[in-house]
């Protein structure tokens, strides 16, 4: 990781839309305070392209001129921003999205901390490459790209379940192309696509090669996020797999309908707040070259969430 010399005060921020309930300012202000770095973390709400194109270009030019020193990127710009950058790190290139931007001279570099943030949080919950087995990923959007990349790299047998089958197939084809070019060591033979509907899910669960081996289920969709707290991405007609571990990237509410159902069935389940903080910590370290105060960031995120915030 490059140790960056940074100006004082350090000016950071988040690009996305909408942003009014973001936890990121609380998380990063806590980190700056803990490390004694004068600075600020602002929100830059930019509508989806093409409406927000001019606003996005102006903001990126401020980063290029060192008027801003680091930016996070969230929905809907993680992939849209790529064509406007000068270079990408390996993680951003593999995932196909950037959530962390910084300047190197007059060039803007795109990085991605979502994948590693997911891996780090998954490890704290007892799931790692040493326990890799079957993983069922719900959704095929930007968050799924980061999750699938990490799971494949760690040796999981991944099944991508999406209501938009074409989008899921495109994601799978992308990883097959990367593997064919031999740029990365991933295992596309362990990646298949099914439709996120009751019948295909039931068939998948009945045909697993190792049905007695625990299954990791990761929800990467926004289904169940406040205010739609009564929704779940998992079809009501299909019981959750026995012994499965449920990881829901949604963290507001802290206990989604999916997580609640898993716990009621006696399954281990977690929300995505840990991943949120882990990816934020990695961005902070990329910008400052200093270790992130992880515990203080967790406390800040928890407090902000308790006040009704969400990213």
Catalytic residues: 78
Q: Is 30 helix (H, G, I), strand (E, B) or coil?
A: helix
| Secondary structure of 177-229 as H, E, C letters | HHHHCCCCCCCHHHEEEEECCHHHHHHHHHCCCCCCCCEEEEECCCCCCCCCC
Nearest to residue 12, comparing CAs of 32, 113, 278? Answer: 32
Residue with tokens 């004694």: 36
Structure-token pair, residue 237 = 């007609």
Structure-token pair, residue 267 = 């399954």
Which contiguous run of DSSP H or E holds residue 74?
A: none
CB 161 within 8 A of CB 196: yes
> Interhelix angle for 273-288 vs 294-306, to 10°?
130
Q: Is 29 helix (H, G, I), strand (E, B) or coil?
A: helix
């Amino acid at each position: 990781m490059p140790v960056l010399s940074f100006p004082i005060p350090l000016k950071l921020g988040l690009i996305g839309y909408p942003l009014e309930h973001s936890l990121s300012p609380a998380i990063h202000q806590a980190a700056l305070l803990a490390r004694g770095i004068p600075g600020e973390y602002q929100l830059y709400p930019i509508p989806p392209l093409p409406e927000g194109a001019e606003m996005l270009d102006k903001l990126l030019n401020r980063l290029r001129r060192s008027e801003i020193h680091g930016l996070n990127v969230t929905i809907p710009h993680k992939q849209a921003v790529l064509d406007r950058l000068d270079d990408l790190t390996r993680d951003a290139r593999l995932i196909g999205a950037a959530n962390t931007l910084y300047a190197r001279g007059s060039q803007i570099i795109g990085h991605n901390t979502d994948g590693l943030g997911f891996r780090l949080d998954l490890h704290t919950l007892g799931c790692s490459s040493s326990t890799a087995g079957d993983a069922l990923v719900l959704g095929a959007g930007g968050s799924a790209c980061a999750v699938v990349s990490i799971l494949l790299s760690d040796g999981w047998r991944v099944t991508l379940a999406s209501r938009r089958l074409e989008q899921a197939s495109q994601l799978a084809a992308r990883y097959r192309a990367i593997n064919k070019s031999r740029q990365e060591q991933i295992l596309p033979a362990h990646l298949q696509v099914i439709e996120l509907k009751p019948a295909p899910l039931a068939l998948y669960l009945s045909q697993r090669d190792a049905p007695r081996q625990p299954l990791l289920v990761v929800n990467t969709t926004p289904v169940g996020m406040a205010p739609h707290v009564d929704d779940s991405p998992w079809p009501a007609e299909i019981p959750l797999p026995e012994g499965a571990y449920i990881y829901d990237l949604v963290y507001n509410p802290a206990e989604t309908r999916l997580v609640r159902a898993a716990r009621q069935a006696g399954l281990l389940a977690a929300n995505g707040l840990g991943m949120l903080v882990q990816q934020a910590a990695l961005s902070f370290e990329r910008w400052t070259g200093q270790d992130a105060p992880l515990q203080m960031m967790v406390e800040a995120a928890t407090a902000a969430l308790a006040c009704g915030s969400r990213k």
